[in-house]
Amino acid sequence: MPIVSGNMYAEGHLILHKYNELNILILGDISDDLKIFATQIDTLHYYLRNTVMSDVTVYLHCTNSVLDDVARQLNIIKQDVDPSDNDELTSAVLNFDFDIVFDQENKFDQKFLWSKFYEFECVKNLVELKESVENYLIGSGIAWSFTNSFWNMPLFMKYMTAPGVCMDFFSFMSECVSNKKYTDNQKEQVRYITNKIKQVEYARDILNYYIKRMRKSRRNNMIDDDYNVQLNYHLSNYYFIMAGTFDSLARLINSVYKLGLTYHGDLAVEKIKFLNLNRKKRTGFVRLFKNKKFVKWVSFLKERRNFIAHDGDMRQTPLVKAKEVLLTDTEINEIVDKQLDWKLLSRYLPENLLMAQREQAVQLAKIKNNHKVIAEKVMIIPITGGGYKIHSPLIDIDHDFERFTEVMSKALSILRR
């Protein structure tokens, strides 16, 4: 293994250096809406080549059931696949390296798709497909919206102009500026909330982009390129900003409705004192914030936030069960010997660092070879008083976002009364 101006990581450890192609398999017919989308992809490519000077490309693929003339006219690539069961779809994804499967006919059930979460993404409608392409572009450094045809769009405009809770709060912020009902401090609070929502949406996009990269790495046997650092960083921000947005909302409500709370510990949408004062003032928020599903979700959101802030991090680990027959230390060391050129590495690392890396490699080999994986990338959160909660954060990214936007949208409707 050549060494040029420094050390090279083991040659066998492949890394996805460039992710400039997104491949989408369309299952079913090409509807009129899909034809429009295919035309939008052509427009996107023209923008990328002539304005951004980027080689990022989105490829649309279809099955044999689509007519040749239709596929050719729309620049859709026909593939010799037409998966009708789970095994055929899995095989097609691996053989053609598809990033996204557009299952518009709902051929595949959710249980199967969850089992394949770390291999490919499946979307069920055109809205989800457009969102998925957009978050891939965001991760590639390109702000683009299929809803609004802005070229050379600044990143913040991507969220301020797309239909959703961020745009709604941005509009509310504009309304507050000309409304004497709100103080300067309250207008600033609305601006803070709007900016936080924008950051939540950005964090979600970046997370979904890195999950795409992780899947592609796995499909191409780049098993060490797991993006744990990037995913942990953005997940931490996602939880921090999302939980912080609710705290900012509580402070805005406290100010606008003159609840009189001064202790910051009481200024949270789930706190009893905050809710009781809202009930007394008849603000209209009590039913929203006392909803059982919301209370359960927001409490767990803040448990995750607090765990990251005070005790641990967002690192996801596999949930494993020990096998009945374990490898011997000799067998484990033989596995580790093949992972790196330890003799070569000893020339460049101090002995203590070399031994530490070797010991870590041994422990990871034991975990991998002496255990069966029950669930991948779970988060273990200690519970006060003993015990743990087990959570799959990557699978729940969109669920968290849906709960967040639903409550923020309803809260805005009450503020606007």
Query: Measured between alpha carbons, how far is 316 from 145 in angstroms, rounded to an integer?
Result: 31
Nearby residues of 278 by Cβ (< 8 Å), 6 or more positions away: 253, 257, 259, 285, 286, 289
User: Tokens in use for 67?
Assistant: 């007519």
Q: Quote the pTM value.
A: 0.87
Q: pLDDT at residue 250 above 90?
A: yes
Instruction: Yes or no: say if 266 and 277 are a contact pair by the CB < 8 Å rule.
Output: no
Q: pLDDT at residue 373 above 80?
A: no
For the chain, how big is the Rg over CA atoms in Å? 25
The pLDDT of 105-110, averaged and rounded, is: 90
What is the percent of the chain with per-residue pLDDT over 90, rounded to a whole number?
65
Q: Which among 363, 365, 372 is positioned nearest to 335, based on CA atoms?
A: 365
Confidence of residue 341 (pLDDT cuts 50, 70, 90): confident
Q: What is the 3-state secondary structure (H, E, C) of 31-81?
A: CHHHHHHHHHHHHHHHHHHHHHCCCCEEEEEECCCCCHHHHHHCCCEECCC
The mean pLDDT of the chain is: 90
Q: Look at 26-40, 57-71, 81-95, 237-251 and tell me which has the smallest mean pLDDT.
A: 81-95
Q: Which pLDDT tens digit goes with each residue over 70-97?
A: 999 999 999 998 888 899 999 999 999 9
Instruction: Yes or no: say if 126 and 33 are a contact pair by the CB < 8 Å rule.
Output: yes
| pLDDT value for 342 | 85
Phi and psi dihedrals of 122, rounded to 5? -120, 130
Q: Look at 141-155, 254-268, 377-391 and tell me which has the smallest mean pLDDT.
A: 377-391
Q: Which pLDDT tens digit goes with each residue over 395-408?
A: 999 999 999 999 99
Q: How would you classify the pairing of strands 121-123 and 100-103?
A: parallel
| pLDDT value for 223 | 66
Query: Measured between alpha carbons, how far is 361 from 348 in angstroms, rounded to an integer?
Result: 18
Query: Measured between alpha carbons, how far is 384 from 291 in angstroms, rounded to an integer?
Result: 23
Q: pLDDT at residue 355 above 60?
A: yes
Q: Look at 144-148, 330-334, 369-373, 394-398 and tell me which has the smallest mean pLDDT.
A: 369-373
Q: Which pLDDT tens digit goes with each residue over 228-239?
A: 889 989 999 999
Distance of CA 139 to the CA centre of its chain: 11
Q: pLDDT at residue 11 above 90?
A: no
Q: Would you list the DSSP string of 327-387?
A: PPHHHHHHHHHHHS-HHHHTTTS-HHHHHHHHHHHHHHHHHHHSEEEEEEEEEEEE-TTS-
| pLDDT value for 4 | 46
Q: Which pLDDT tens digit goes with each residue over 306-321?
A: 888 887 766 666 777 7
| pLDDT value for 314 | 61
Phi and psi dihedrals of 394, rounded to 5? -70, -40
Q: pLDDT at residue 10 above 90?
A: no
The pLDDT of 332-351, averaged and rounded, is: 86
| pLDDT value for 61 | 97
Q: Look at 53-67, 174-188, 197-211, 352-366 and tell me which has the smallest mean pLDDT.
A: 352-366
The pLDDT of 380-405, averaged and rounded, is: 87
| pLDDT value for 13 | 61
* Beta pairing partners, 322: 371
Q: What is the 3-state secondary structure (H, E, C) of 167-216?
A: HHHHHHHHHHHCCCCCCHHHHHHHHHHHHHHHHHHHHHHHHHHHHHHHHH
Confidence of residue 2 (pLDDT cuts 50, 70, 90): very low
CATH code linked to domain 21-146: 3.40.50
- Give CA separation, 198 vs 203, 242, 245, in Å: 9, 10, 11
CA angle 364, 366, 371 (to 5 degrees): 110
